[in-house]
Structures are given as C-alpha cells and as structure tokens.
Amino acid sequence: MSRIDAKFAELRKAGKKAFVSYVMAGDPDYDTALEVVKGLPGAGVDVIELGLPFTDPMADGPTIQLAGQRALEAGMTLQRTLQMVRDFREGDSDTPIVLMGYYNPIYSRGVDRFLEEAKEAGIDGLIVVDLPPEEDSELCIPAQAAGLNFIRLATPTTDDKRLPKVLQNTSGFVYYVSITGITGAAAAQSGDVGPEVARIKAATDLPVIVGFGIRTPETAREIASVADGAVVGSAIVSEIAEGKSPAEVLSFVKSLADGAHSA
C-alpha cells in the first residue's frame, strides 16, 4: 500500500474528504518553496502535488506558467526538485507527494534512472499530463512496477467510450478536471461536477479528486461535497506570486483545507 492509498484509507475511515494542494517546486526560490512545502501538512493538506518546472507547460494557465518560469530562473532543475523532496522527508515520512509535470525532463534523465531516484527521494505518485494512455509503456507501467502510483486526469470531454482507457492503468486516485481549458481559467461548479464524479466512480473504486477552478474555501467545500476531495493550485500559487510570506500563504491554504474538510 502506497502512502497515497494509506492516506485515502485513513480519510475514508474518518469520514473526511481530502484536500490536495499544488505548489511549484522552487517558486520563487528554493528556500521559500521548501518552507511552504514543509508547512503544508500542518495547514491541513492531505496530499501534496509538487510541480516540476518545465519550459513549455501546455496544460497550465498563466499563473502556473509564470511560477515555472520563476523557478527555472532561480535555478530549479529536476535534480533540485528531487532534493527538495528529500529535504521534506527528513521531517515528514507520512504525507504523500505527487510529482506533477511533463514527460520531457523525465525522458531526458532516462526513465529507469528517474524512477529509481524518485522512489529513493520519497515521491509517491506521478501526474504526467502529456502522456496519454496509449503511451503507458513509456512511463506509467514502469512507474507502477517501481512502486509509484500513476495518476490520470479525466476531463469533461472524457466520454464513456474513452473512460475505461483512461482508468485502465491508473492508481492512487483519479484527478477530475472540472472545466475545459487550462488551469486557473474558470470557476468550478458543483452542479456540473457532481454527475461527472458519479459517472467516474461507477467505473472505478479509486477516489475521485476534483481540481481546476477552485479558489475559495466555499468552493472547496462545495466541490469536496460531491467528490472524494478537492485540489487547489493556481489560487495558492497566486499568493506566492504576490510576494506573500510563507506564513501568509499557509494561512490561506489552511482556510481552503478547512473548507474541503467541512464537506
């Protein structure tokens, strides 16, 4: 059982919904980002999504794109992202970490080497948004064999014909993208999301977590009430972009976590 599986089993037993937060590794710099990441569990975060900076993040809106640029300009690399996970693990061996990014940096490093290093560093799962199920042999299946969950995204355009393909090698949880388009672009609506989550849950036993378009504690609660949890990324990254201190960022994260946990 992975840390992700264990966390969702624990939440299920407690009758609680999950709160997942996304931050970009190295934004605005290594030390500040590490301080924020280390503070996330204490702010109520159940699963951490850690963004891997990349030069061409096609699924991300301007907020996350700029965060990636700031991180790259500050010298962030795949190697330093893995080091950040190691540094986090020195004080936290329980909170699951999902590395979210694109395939190019992983491919450049070499899949086998990357998976060995990721597992050793303390990463629990991967979300690689530009690898479709047709390419599962590239990374998904080797990742599962290495003991890492491979988390797939389902979207409003994932119809009943496509859904089984998306789910076939997915593990950990399913990430439902609540809106069409890029991150941070529109507001999620629980009335739209609920039926879609129910449709996905009818096809899998995995938890279904909803992200994109969640910016307030109220929306986090509404979305978590119709799913197994909520993900917030752009709204948190915006706080960092505004130059808020780690303490201020974490206070905002706690308000979102409280919202999701009250569902």
Active site residues: 49, 60
d(CA 257, CA 53): 25
CB 213 within 8 A of CB 247: no
Query: Within 13 Å, how many C-alpha atoms sit on residue 61's CB side?
Result: 16
Burial label for 242, CB within 10 Å (0-12, 13-18, 19+), is exposed
d(CA 79, CA 226): 38
d(CA 83, CA 26): 11
Amino acid at 187: A
- What is the DSSP secondary-structure string of 193-224? HHHHHHHHHTT-SS-EEEESS--SHHHHHHHH
